Every structure is written in C-alpha cells, then in structure tokens.
Structure 1
Amino acid sequence: MDQAHQDIAGAAATAMPALGADETQITCSRTFASWLAQHRVGLAFSSYQSGQLFLVGQFGNENLSFRQRNFVRAMGLHQRGDELYLASLNQIWRFANVLGPDERANQNFDRLYVPRTAHVTGDVDAHEVAVEASGRIVFVNTRFSCLATVSRTHSFKPVWKPKFISRLAAEDRCHLNGLALEDGRVRYVTAVAGTDVVDGWREHRVGGGLLIRVDDHEVIARGFSMPHSPRLHGGRLWVLDSARGYLVRIDPATGEKEDVAFCPGFLRGLSFHAGHAVVTLSLPRHLSFTALPIEEEIARRGGSPWCGVQIINLSSGDVVEWIRLDGAIRELFDVTILPGALCPMAAPASGADLSSLLTIEAPDAPLNAPGNHSSTPAENAIR
C-alpha cells in the first residue's frame, strides 16, 4: 500500500479478490467505526514487517479512516498527551500534534502528528518504548538485553539490565522485549528466557518466559511462552502470553495468573480503554507456529491464524471489535489508544509535504510587528 491508499470495508468481505504481492486487504467488524465514535478515540498501530505506522479514526457519518506512513521496522509506540513516540530500526521518533482543538487538516483530521525529534540509536533492535513522568525516554534495547535511554552523544545509555545478564553485549541473550509503567516509572519488564548466552532464549520459547520487577529484579511470574507487552491496569498486571495466544491477568502480590481471552495470532502490543483491551495479532513468520502451543489451540478451536487488531471486553473476555489484514502485511507489533483523537493522521518523515508544513509556536510575549499569527496545518494539503 502507498501512503494514500485506503481499502476499507465495514464488515468482513464475503469473497476476497485476488491480491497482488504488495497489496493488503483491510476489513473491519461492522460496528468498529461506531465503537471509535462512542469512545471518542483513535488508534495507532505499527508493522515492523512492512515498515509502517497506521493511524485509524472515523469521520462524518462514521466513515473509517486508515492513514499510514513509512518508518523502517516500525516497532514500539507510546502516547503521551499530544505526543506520539515510535521506535524504529535506527531511531526513536517523537511526533507532536500541531492542531489546536478547533483546527482541522484536510478538512477531516483533528490530529496531525508531525515528526519533530529523531534520536539516532543505530540498530539496537529497540522494541517497546515509554516516557516516564520525568520526561526520560526509556526503551527496551533487545539486542543488548537492557533498558536504555537516549544519549546526546552515543547510540544509547543503559539504565537497567536483568541480574542474570552478566554484561552488555550485542547478543540478544534473553530477548528482553516489553516494559510497563507504574506511577510514572518503568517498573516491570518481560523476557522470553532467563538466559545469558548469545540467542539463548530460542531454546526456551515454551515455558521459559519471565515477568520481572525492575526495582529489585524479583521475578513476579514465570512459565510464560514468549511473553510480550506487560501493562499495569486496574491494579493488576497484564501480559500477552504470545506463543499460547492468551491475554493474561496477574496478581502483582502473588504472581497468580488467569487467562482472560484467547486470540488466534501471535500477540504483541497492548493498550487499555474503558474496560477494553486492544491487542495486535500476527501470522506465523514461517507459515506455521511449529512447536508452539498456539498452533494446537487454534486447531482445537477450528480456526486459522490472524493478522490484525482485536478489541476485548475485559469483563467477558469476548472480542467485540476487530480489524483484519490479509495479503502483504502479515506481522504487526504495537498498538496504542489515542484519547480524544477522532480522526488522526501523520506527516511523512521527509519529502515535499514535510518541507512545506510550516507552523509557528506562539511567542512568550507580543512581537513588535502587528498582525503576527501562526500559520496552521489546516491551510495545507497533506497527502
């Protein structure tokens, strides 16, 4: 799909036309647009496989809007007020929404996220990213098995590593991959295994996963199969037990685990809103989930693997809304709710549209020349 392509259906297609090698068909649950409108939210999700950031919203008579921008190996996402952060192959990006409450871009879009900062990290296989209350950016540096922050001089500055990792090395020893904030600080992480040798986690994908508390290195819960995306919500910890296909709720005091919902795809990315969890699903990378528990579970249920986004009612465990992608895009990574964003879009990272997108922050004090005013993106057409 190119930047402007939109191929949207209100419900699953009854007969899918043949797709080209680089084409993707997007279908949605019939009431997906209504759900977004009711909750007054948009969505952002990423695909590292296709290298795209997707922004989803609705406008007018509940018409769905899908916008995408290219970022090589688009991975972790984090929403913070009017800012959006994205981890990619070589950068940690910060986007800022430049629209005021009553401004619109291209008539319909009430959020226009413009890339304002790119911290160059090099290929450290950055996974999830978050911003602490202090403003410090923290990301999972999977290649070096640590948590890191950006540096003004170097590729990164390590801030924490599991106690079982003997030293920093570009060896992806335990596949550290997810982080969770609590009280404005990174407090929990997930790792696929507690191994301290190069690529050692691959031999422990089933049952070797750990949920670790950062402050004291305590393993809160273990026995996961390729866990991802820990989050704190409603006084409980939540983890995607990805190689099993389950959203899991955990008591942080006891480590007791409870399966809440099964999703037929490899789970990464987790966001919450109003009693709902939002997750992304991916197809198996090598055509099958060979030797992973999720393969047997999908077969037992008579289903097939999905690539897409599912919204889960936390009270019932039911999937109430969904987006499904078929075709070229097979793997997604992260997802985040965008509160109050009815119809979001993003500017590109380079090119003519970015060059001509000029906005002016209001000065702290009036300037001498009368009639100064900010030019707004609503005056510009962004493709």
Structure 2
Amino acid sequence: MTPPPPFSYTYSPNIPELLLGLKCSLAISTYQTGKVVIFSPKDQNQLIQLPRNFDKPMGMALHNGQWAVATRDELIITANSAGMASNYPANPNTYDSLFIPRVTYHTGVLDLHDISFTNDGLVGVNTLFSCLSKFNADFSFTDIWKPHFVTELKPEDRCHLNGLAVDESGKPKYVTALGTGDSAREWKEKMLTGGILMDVDSNEIIGDALPVPHSPRIYKDGLWMLLSATGEVVKVNLADGKYDVVTKLNGFVRGMDRIGDYLFVATSKLRPNSSLFNEAPVAKSSVVCGISVIYIPTGQPCGHILYNTSVEELFDLKVLPGLMRPNILNHSKQMHKTSVITEKEVFWAKPERDEKEVVAN
C-alpha cells in the first residue's frame, strides 16, 4: 500500500460544518515540525490545511487584528492587512485576511511558552528564566513577575513555568508551572506530581500536586486548565484550589481555546523513548495527535481533527473568530518585504528583475 503523504490528516464529518456555523478557523503551533498550521472550512464537507514554516513555534496570541508567534529566538508580531489579501500575488482572490509581520523582537533563546496580549502590552512566559516578561527594543526581555520561590533570574528553567491566564481586565492573573524548584531544572525530580497553579497578584500557590498542568484559561464561567499527564480537561474551584474533571482525552493535552459552547483542545503523542513522561498515566493511551472538540454543556467530545503522518506534538491552539480563510506570512520567503501598508492604502511592490534576465528576455 502507498503510505499517506506528509501532513495527511482525517477529521470527523461534522468539523467543516461546525467551523462554518461558528464562523471561525483554527490555528495550531507544532515546534516538532516547525509549523503554524491553519485549518479552515472550504465548504460544509471539506477542510483546508494551510501550513506555514516558523522556527520552533510555540506560544501564540491574538488580539485586535494582531497575531503574535513565539519562536526559537524571536517574538514575531503580525497584523491583519485585509486589503492585501484579495490581491496577494502568490494566490489572489483566495484569502479573507492576511497577517503580515510588522515587528520582530530578537529575544535570543528564552524558551517562551504561553504568550498573551495584556492591557500593558505583550507578555510571555519566559520558561528559561522562570518569570513573566515584557519586550521592547532595549533588551531581550524585561521581567515583570516571578514566583516567590525563585530567588534569582538565571537561564536554568528552575520550575518550568509554562502557562498564563489573563483576566477580563487584561491583566496576567494565573500561571502554571511543573514544580517549585529554585535550582537548575529541579522540576524534573517530581514532574508528574509536582505541578502548581499560582495567583500572580498574591504570588500564592492555589493548587498543587497537579499532574503536569498547562494552558490555564479564564472564560466567562471560570478558570479552565489542562492536566497533560492524565489527559484531563478541568475547571478549577478557586476557593480551595481543587478541580472538577470535565472530560478526559486520549492524548497529552496542551493548547486550548474556546468559542461559544465549544472547547478546542490540542492533543499530542508522547515520544516512545521519552524518559520524562513514560510513567505518565496517559502514556499508553497517548497515541493520537490533533484537535479534539468538546461541547461544553455536556462535557463530551463531539469532533476531531487527527494527523496520520508527520505531526506528533503540538503546543498551542487558537480559534480565529470571524476569519474563514486566513493566511499568515513568515520570514522564509520574504513576501512580507514586498508589502507596503499605510493608514489609507496598501501596495504590493513589483519584484525587481535581474539585469541579465531583462537583457535575455
């Protein structure tokens, strides 16, 4: 039998119709393959996959027409220039939105995980330095908060700070980490049972002994979180730090977003030779990579997108509301450098032609 092509995937029949009804597309980041991938509904029966190359993409953030992507050593901020989409030279009359790089912070290697737009600018979970960071033109980062048990900022990944939840006012409110260590990679000692949830304002631990927490998110009905080692999607009771399990998925859960009554959760396979997670409760059942859709009123999965080849690990997932056929440009092909955007007009520059080519033709 002929093996499936790279990046082949399957999906439950209801997914295209669901995305059409919700008027949205989905985006995932996969550092394992170096891609940001957009899934859009072509019609009620078909999906379109649009992969874009980024160097180790992890956290993503969307706000007011901007889309930020944290990569290996850069933080790239793109902006939707809808006026450029219709006459995009590579594929005109195809996209309803086009995110073009506008600002790139050359941060150096920080191992940025979750990032989010806040009322005080873009904030990232600086995992290597165990703090929350802001970004400007002067430094690789400016630290704005660290856990009370971290005594100094060193590139040692002391507690594996990873998740960030921003409240309705736009302030960083909760973070997750895999431990409370204050020495280099100390979190690995009790990784599967040492996870914590912290309140940024009070700098207090409000939940502990968590099985690899990720992706805390504040929604209209409270705080949600993923427990990666058990494959559980949970809601947190902030009064006592305990949680209720909404559903359990067969995968290493990390990356979550919501629109209306639907929750979209990214699931990853575990590496067969992983020394970090081979004892995790979800290790044997973590055999799929893709997106699971949960209908919140029932707490039950109601659809999926699953990769057959190439992609095994995801990091982040974002819903792109109101965008039915979006595109994002990277730095690879330099297409963004041919765009000129003003407050009133947009232009695609004509490509320059080599003198020899002109003469020859």
Structure 2 length as normaliser, TM-score?
A: 0.90
Q: 1:245 aligns with which of 231, 238, 241?
A: 231
The question of whether the paired residues in 2 share the 8 Å contact of 1:46 and 1:52 is answered with: yes
1:102-158 CA deviation, whole Å, 9 max, x = no partner?
Answer: 957532311111111111110011101011123x11100000111111132111111
Helix, strand or coil at the partner of 1:284: coil
Helix, strand or coil at the partner of 1:223: strand
- Tell me which residue corresponds to 2:150: 165
Matched, 1:317 2:304: no
Matched, 1:77 2:60: yes
Helix, strand or coil at the partner of 1:358: strand
The question of whether the paired residues in 2 share the 8 Å contact of 1:51 and 1:72 is answered with: yes
- Tell me which residue corresponds to 1:154: 139
Deviation at 1:24, TM superposition (A): 2.4
The question of whether the paired residues in 2 share the 8 Å contact of 1:104 and 1:111 is answered with: no
Runs of 4+ in 1 over 4 A off after TM superposition: 100-105
* Aligned pairs for 1:333-348 within 5 A: 333-348=315-330
Over 3 Å counting, the alpha-carbon distance change for 1:318 and 1:60 in structure 2 is: closer
Q: Which amino acid aligns with 2:283?
A: E
Helix, strand or coil at the partner of 1:211: strand
Looking at structure 1, the residues matched to 85 and 143 of structure 2 have their Cα atoms a distance apart, in angstroms, of 41
Deviation at 1:254, TM superposition (A): 2.6
Over 3 Å counting, the alpha-carbon distance change for 1:138 and 1:216 in structure 2 is: same
Over 3 Å counting, the alpha-carbon distance change for 1:219 and 1:356 in structure 2 is: same
* Aligned pairs for 1:12-51 within 5 A: 17-19=2-4, 23-51=6-34
Q: Which amino acid aligns with 2:296?
A: L
Q: Which runs of 5+ in 1 are unaligned?
A: 1-15, 299-303, 363-372
- Tell me which residue corresponds to 1:11: none
Looking at structure 1, the residues matched to 51 and 302 of structure 2 have their Cα atoms a distance apart, in angstroms, of 24
- Tell me which residue corresponds to 1:291: 279
Over 3 Å counting, the alpha-carbon distance change for 1:376 and 1:261 in structure 2 is: farther
Deviation at 1:335, TM superposition (A): 0.5
Matched, 1:181 2:195: no
Comparing 230-239 with 161-170, greater Cα deviation is found at 230-239
* Aligned pairs for 1:148-297 within 5 A: 148-182=133-167, 183-287=169-273, 289-295=277-283
Q: Which amino acid aligns with 2:60?
A: L
- Tell me which residue corresponds to 2:359: none
Over 3 Å counting, the alpha-carbon distance change for 1:262 and 1:108 in structure 2 is: same
Looking at structure 2, the residues matched to 155 and 102 of structure 1 have their Cα atoms a distance apart, in angstroms, of 32
Matched, 1:138 2:123: yes
The question of whether the paired residues in 2 share the 8 Å contact of 1:99 and 1:376 is answered with: no
Looking at structure 2, the residues matched to 283 and 276 of structure 1 have their Cα atoms a distance apart, in angstroms, of 23
Deviation at 1:79, TM superposition (A): 1.0
- Tell me which residue corresponds to 1:112: 98
Q: Which amino acid aligns with 2:66?
A: E
- Tell me which residue corresponds to 2:338: 356
Over 3 Å counting, the alpha-carbon distance change for 1:157 and 1:280 in structure 2 is: same
Looking at structure 2, the residues matched to 102 and 174 of structure 1 have their Cα atoms a distance apart, in angstroms, of 43
Q: Which amino acid aligns with 2:115?
A: V
The question of whether the paired residues in 2 share the 8 Å contact of 1:37 and 1:62 is answered with: no
Helix, strand or coil at the partner of 2:189: helix
Helix, strand or coil at the partner of 1:290: coil
Looking at structure 2, the residues matched to 260 and 310 of structure 1 have their Cα atoms a distance apart, in angstroms, of 13
Comparing 304-313 with 75-84, greater Cα deviation is found at 304-313
Q: Which amino acid aligns with 1:141?
A: N
Q: Which amino acid aligns with 1:306?
A: V
Deviation at 1:17, TM superposition (A): 4.2
Q: 2:309 aligns with which of 320, 327, 338?
A: 327
Comparing 322-331 with 55-64, greater Cα deviation is found at 55-64
- Tell me which residue corresponds to 1:63: 46
Deviation at 1:61, TM superposition (A): 5.6
Deviation at 1:249, TM superposition (A): 0.5
The question of whether the paired residues in 1 share the 8 Å contact of 2:13 and 2:45 is answered with: no
Helix, strand or coil at the partner of 2:173: strand
Identity %: 32
Looking at structure 2, the residues matched to 98 and 60 of structure 1 have their Cα atoms a distance apart, in angstroms, of 24
Over 3 Å counting, the alpha-carbon distance change for 1:102 and 1:346 in structure 2 is: closer
Helix, strand or coil at the partner of 2:94: coil
Q: Which runs of 5+ in 2 are unaligned?
A: 352-361
Deviation at 1:281, TM superposition (A): 0.9
Looking at structure 2, the residues matched to 162 and 98 of structure 1 have their Cα atoms a distance apart, in angstroms, of 38
Over 3 Å counting, the alpha-carbon distance change for 1:112 and 1:217 in structure 2 is: same
Q: Which amino acid aligns with 1:237?
A: L
Structure 1 length as normaliser, TM-score?
A: 0.85
The question of whether the paired residues in 2 share the 8 Å contact of 1:173 and 1:197 is answered with: yes
